[in-house]
Chains A and B, each alone.
Chain A
Amino acid sequence: MNDSQGVRHVFLRSGVYADSVRLMQVSREIGARDGVSAVLVAMATPLNLELAAGMGLAPDGEAKPDQLLIALTATDDAELTAAVAAVEAALAHRERSGDVQTIPARTIGAGLADATDPALAIISVPGPYAAAEAADAIAAGRSVLVFSDGVPVEQEIALKQAAHEAGVLVMGPDCGTAIVSGVALGFANVVRPGPVGLVAASGTGAQQVSCLLDAAGVGVSHVLGVGGRDLSEAVGGLATLDALAALDADPSTERVLLVSKPPAAAVAARVREAADRLSVPVRSAVLSVESPDLTAAVEALLGDLGVAVPEWPSRPGTADAVPPGAVLKGFYSGGTLADEAMLIAAPVLGDIRSNTPLRPELDLGTDLRAAGSVVVDFGDDALTVGRAHPMIDPTLRLEAIAALAAGGEPAVLLLDVVLGHGADPDPAASLGPALQAAGLPTVVALVGTEGDPQGWSRQADALAEAGAAVFASNATATRYALSLIGDGHE
């Protein structure tokens, strides 16, 4: 059939049925061919016959709804033949059913839907978005660890209240360290299992305490981080109280140690009161002017357990010649360890300036290279913007050591090196050569265990090789550094 618009093919087939969706799809596919100007492949229902008529493609004779209408117009016979063949091929085509796509969960709520219990959520999304994810976990009846910082304190309070009601725990925000039933989360050490449960508002404090216990042959049941703000007036120890209650009910926990920087006084009293009501004995390792020493708290706990206090591991240094008038330069990666060093050193050296000072008037501001005795916390939020934590990336601290050596101010260098999961896999590899190049009298508080991926002894030997005196206890290290300065004074 020829006409001015080209060649037409209008054909009715019986005994063929296809879904109307399939047929519309075929029509579209054929209609997209260059040589085809109009196409209708459809069951010959009254509606479709009307459409065909409107397109000038009405079939001759009687059509029944169970017949398949194949109607098209093409530019010439060759195109028409090809198009009709394409219609047949498209109708015969059978789609292969592929593998079912799995849609990854986009929220903690969706992720927890299929989780096996016990399950724990961990959240390290940007702070402004962390609350919604944490709320999902609480709603699902699961505890949650929030690494994220920058979570508004009102949100922290709301989360912790909701968690309390749900009988779960919010660890954090800004909680970097936890060990739950042997699973190390964030920055945590490989410590033996045992009877001591830690509740920690301080990450590196918890690491120091758990490592010393491990060195004494005493293991931990759990380390429950609560976030640095938990014992503030605003938050009121919500998570600390819940964590204490949980450890009290945990059959594997026989003693509890509460590790914290100085809490708000009213909160400390409330926590103490709650702790006294528990059946499990609770001891505090809370840093303050009166109790400046985490190691002493561990030793007291060992006494409670009837365990002899060991000689804490150490390596002697080669620093025998400290120049007179030397000052203390404490370059820390752990905030609590820096605080402990300042609390121990201040009575000997007088006020110590810092970027995280004990009192506001001692603030170094931005001048980290100020003269005199100084303790710098390189892990402070202001110094970690846009870069990894100094436990992972040593660059900033290594630069400061080189600058100190070049500046020529007589000094004893006091450092912490924190091992364990999440930390630099071999800190001595970069620090050793830097110390050797600097040639300064150096004391290192090496926080870790033999079981850590880095190995305490391996790191200690390498650092001692570089000339540093190495101590497992930060308090001991600080006192040793002070003794070196004292020697220089004599």
Chain B
Amino acid sequence: MSDPLGGLLAAPPSIVAAGVEVFSTALRQQGVAVTDVDWRPPGFGDPEDLAQLALDPRRAAANRVAVERVLAAGSVLVDVRPAREVLDLPDRTLLHSGPPLTWETASGPMRGALMGAAVFEGWATDPDDAERVLAAGEISLDPCHHHRTVGPMAGVTSPSMWMWCLQDPASGGQAWCNLNEGLGKVLRMGAFNEEVQTRLAWMRDVLGPVLSAAVRSRPEPLDVKAILAQMLQMGDEGHNRNRAGSLMALRELSPSIVAVDAPSSDIAEVLRFIGGNEHFYLNLGMPTAKLAMDAARGVPGSTMVTVLSRNGTEFGIQTAGTGDRWFTGPANTPVGLFLGDYGPEDANPDIGDSAIMEAYGVGGFSMAAAPAIVRFVGGSVPDALATTERMYQLTLTENPAMQIPIMGFRGSPTGIDVLKVARTGWLPQINTGMAGRVAGTGQVGAGLVQPPQQCFEQALAALAEESRAAV
């Protein structure tokens, strides 16, 4: 051994100190370089649980495995097919965002979306009938996440909706997401009126078949992950801002769309619809993140978060070390800016599977890539940078594929560590849309939100319990 203790005995060390200041002062008087950590007691968690996890000999390797799987995952668009063909759903089942919920506990926009989907599927004659059918429990509800699916906002997915079919070439994993409807009065925001039904029918009859034919005709499947990487260089963060990504997706798909054997008026309408929807890419980005996070599912000893998700009532998370178990708490209401004369009192609590983007290290975690987003809460460019800086301290790795130019092309902060969340006391930062709290309203604004601490408290305790049993 020529270099014992990593060279510590060969030259005066620099010091990183946590705790009492007097020791650092004495070192500075000797001319030693000292970095003081801004240490404070953990934000939550039993000290013995924290130590149990910190000292679990499996943790480092398990988190490394989890992180490697996340980083290795790719995402290519292989098909567009109706949900009934790709999801093996029992009859009269609707998928929704977030952790499991019942009609009784569903919020306004979730109810609105479920009602709209029931009418769309012909399971009810009108919204009132849909409400009755749903309240009677005649339609089963199941989380998207239980079906390798994600859905923005209410995330309500029904058999007749067309799904993006994405595949991870690395693991062979698959993930699905429905097609984005655009902004305003849309089903995912809880609207269900005639306008919504008309659009859904058009998406079913025109948009879906055209996209399906176009995607199938491409010589190479579309690399959806590569678009996400480029978006971060173009002012998008991939959750609340998908402008560049939507245009790039349109650019990639349009030659194939134009070549589809369909009336030119339909082709024109499809192109106009995609071009007019700044969030068109979101429904491709989400299953991309889902593929990566699902790849890290089921790694015993890992403290990495695999799912961040909300159903409008509760926020739920899952971790790589605890499989499919949900840890939930009441969803917070986002803070932000409102459309028209809507105000904070009109906003529903946090909703949607789209926080999978933050679990993957983009969205709020890559806020520095899209400083425009912090202005939702009156923040400044330095605030955007500070948010991303903080998220680096919550995460296990930096994703070299997702670089943030203003951070010196540092990779996005990726892989939320439950242990680091507890120790820093900082909660993940999520960028999100806001749905109106009354069913039928639609979108009322957009803003920023954090998960409730309870989710992480439960996850920490469960991980510690699993660790004690295993070690």
Contacts and interface: CB of A to CB of B under 8 A. Distances in A.
Contacts of B392: 110
Given A105-B38, A115-B14, A167-B5, A124 B19 contact: yes
A167 to B, nearest CB: 7
A136 to B, nearest CB: 8
Given A52-B340, A129-B42, A180-B13, A103 B27 contact: no
Given A131-B55, A249-B2, A24 B445 contact: yes
Contact of A120 (B15, B30, B390, B446): B15
A123 interface: yes
A184 B30 contact: yes
Given A124-B23, A131-B54, A21 B373 contact: yes
19 contacts: A21-B376, A95-B380, A95-B381, A107-B423, A111-B18, A118-B5, A119-B14, A121-B17, A124-B20, A125-B18, A136-B54, A143-B5, A147-B23, A180-B8, A181-B10, A183-B15, A222-B9, A246-B9, A247-B9
A142 B373 contact: no
B86 to A, nearest CB: 31
A47 B392 CA distance: 37
Given A118-B6, A158-B55, 15 more contacts: A21-B337, A24-B337, A28-B338, A51-B339, A52-B340, A106-B40, A107-B423, A115-B14, A122-B17, A136-B54, A143-B8, A221-B9, A246-B8, A247-B4, A250-B10
A378 B235 CA distance: 63
A149 B228 CA distance: 49
Contacts of B183: 47
A141 interface: yes
A399 interface: no
Contacts of B50: 129, 131-132
Nearest to B33: A116
A136 B16 CA distance: 11
B382 A24 contact: no
B242 to A, nearest CB: 13
A162 B57 contact: yes
B393 interface: yes
Interface of A: 19, 21-22, 24-25, 27-28, 31, 38-40, 47-48, 50-52, 54-55, 95, 97-112, 114-126, 128-129, 131-133, 135-137, 139, 141-143, 147-148, 152, 155, 158-159, 161-162, 167-169, 180-186, 221-222, 245-247, 249-250, 252-253, 421-422
A111 B51 contact: no
Contacts of A121: 15-18
B19 A147 contact: yes
A185 B22 CA distance: 11
A118 to B, nearest CB: 4
Contacts of B425: 106
B372 interface: yes
A441 to B, nearest CB: 35
A133 B341 contact: no
Contacts of B51: 128, 131-132, 152, 155
B419 interface: yes
Nearest to B17: A122
From A31, A55, A106, residue with most partner B Cβ within 10 Å: A106
B4 A147 contact: no
B11 A118 contact: yes
Contacts of B32: 183
Contacts of B47: 128-129
Interface of B: 1-20, 22-23, 26-27, 29-30, 32-33, 35-42, 47-48, 50-51, 54-55, 57, 60, 183-184, 337-341, 372-373, 375-376, 378, 380-383, 385-386, 389-390, 392-393, 419-420, 423-426, 445-446
Contacts, number: 250
A141 B380 contact: no
A422 B60 CA distance: 36
A111 B35 contact: yes
From A132, A136, A180, A182, residue with most partner B Cβ within 10 Å: A132
Contacts of A246: 1, 4-5, 8-9
Contacts of A183: 12-13, 15, 27, 30, 32
Contact of A22 (B1, B372, B383): B372
A115 B37 contact: no
Given A132-B50, A422-B22, A142 B30 contact: no
A162 B55 contact: yes
Contacts of B423: 106-107, 132
Contacts of B2: 249
**Shortest 6 CB-CB distances between A and B: which pairs?**
A124-B19, A24-B337, A51-B340, A128-B47, A104-B38, A132-B54
A101 B389 contact: yes
Contacts of B23: 122, 124, 147, 185-186, 422
Given A107-B420, A169-B5, A55 B341 contact: yes
Given A21-B373, A143-B8, A167-B6, A101 B382 contact: yes
